Amino acid sequence: MRKQIAAANWKMNLTAQQAENLMNELVALPHQLYEHQQAIFAVPFPYLQMIEQKLHGKQNVFVAAQNCYYKKNGAFTGEVSVEMLQSININHVIIGHSERREYFNETNEVLALKVNHCLENNVTPIFCCGEPLAVRESNTQESFVAKQLDESLFHLSAEQIIKVVIAYEPIWAIGTGKTATSEQAQDIHLFIRNHIAAKYSERIANEISILYGGSVKAANAKEIFSQPDVDGGLVGGAALNAQEFNTIINSLK
């Protein structure tokens, strides 16, 4: 069975004390992760070590960075390399979140370089793709997402791409309170899987976890995750509430 993943993206939120309190509360709540399930916490750079230490040794639980640079080192003030992350035991990174694309002008080409750098260093990229409202309203979301995959991932070998986690983000449903129906989520997830299968093979496509990343909450997680091609969620606002995110973890199939 593909990995079923509940990934928390804290974005640029919480003070250090608030972050510690949230994680303490979450760790104390009852949840069980089976062998095919994972919980991943993508936290701001200053909190990576603290959260990693709190979760160290826990089975199927990982800490992720929210971004990285595509160079190993050098005069790149403000950037963080994959090697730096590895040196503090961080082995997952979100690549190409819609906010990075929109506010920081990250292109498909730049994201391909970041994916390469992660894989060269045995770090798992959580690669984000998805369309804005105008594209959804014009019913061209499939070609839009296909282009993102083609230009950022499809240069990879079959052995490389199975190491990537994909997160589909309907940008129109992030932080807006709107959520794609479970059927809409399934439709685009199935399209992504079929697009991968056409490039590689059905076997490869069926090994890749594809997460849904649009306003997942405790109230809708189980229904969304029940869809056959939805392998969990990349969760924003609801991940800042311990009870909410714990319910989401427990909603994994």
Domain parsing of the chain, residue ranges: 4-249
- In the prediction, which pLDDT does 134 show? 87
User: Directed axis angle between helix 48-55 and helix 16-28, to 10°?
Assistant: 20
- In the prediction, which pLDDT does 176 show? 67
- In the prediction, which pLDDT does 204 show? 98
Catalytic residue flag (residue 97):
yes
Query: What's the pTM?
Result: 0.96
Q: What is the CATH number of domain 4-249?
A: 3.20.20.70
Q: Which two tokens stand for residue 177?
A: 């309170």
Among the options 52, 106, 131, 169, which is catalytic?
A: 169
Catalytic residue flag (residue 159):
no
- In the prediction, which pLDDT does 175 show? 64
Question: Which residues in the chain show pLDDT less than 50?
Answer: none
- In the prediction, which pLDDT does 214 show? 84
- Residues 14 and 76: their CA atoms lie apart, in Å, by 26
Among the options 52, 92, 97, 131, which is catalytic?
A: 97
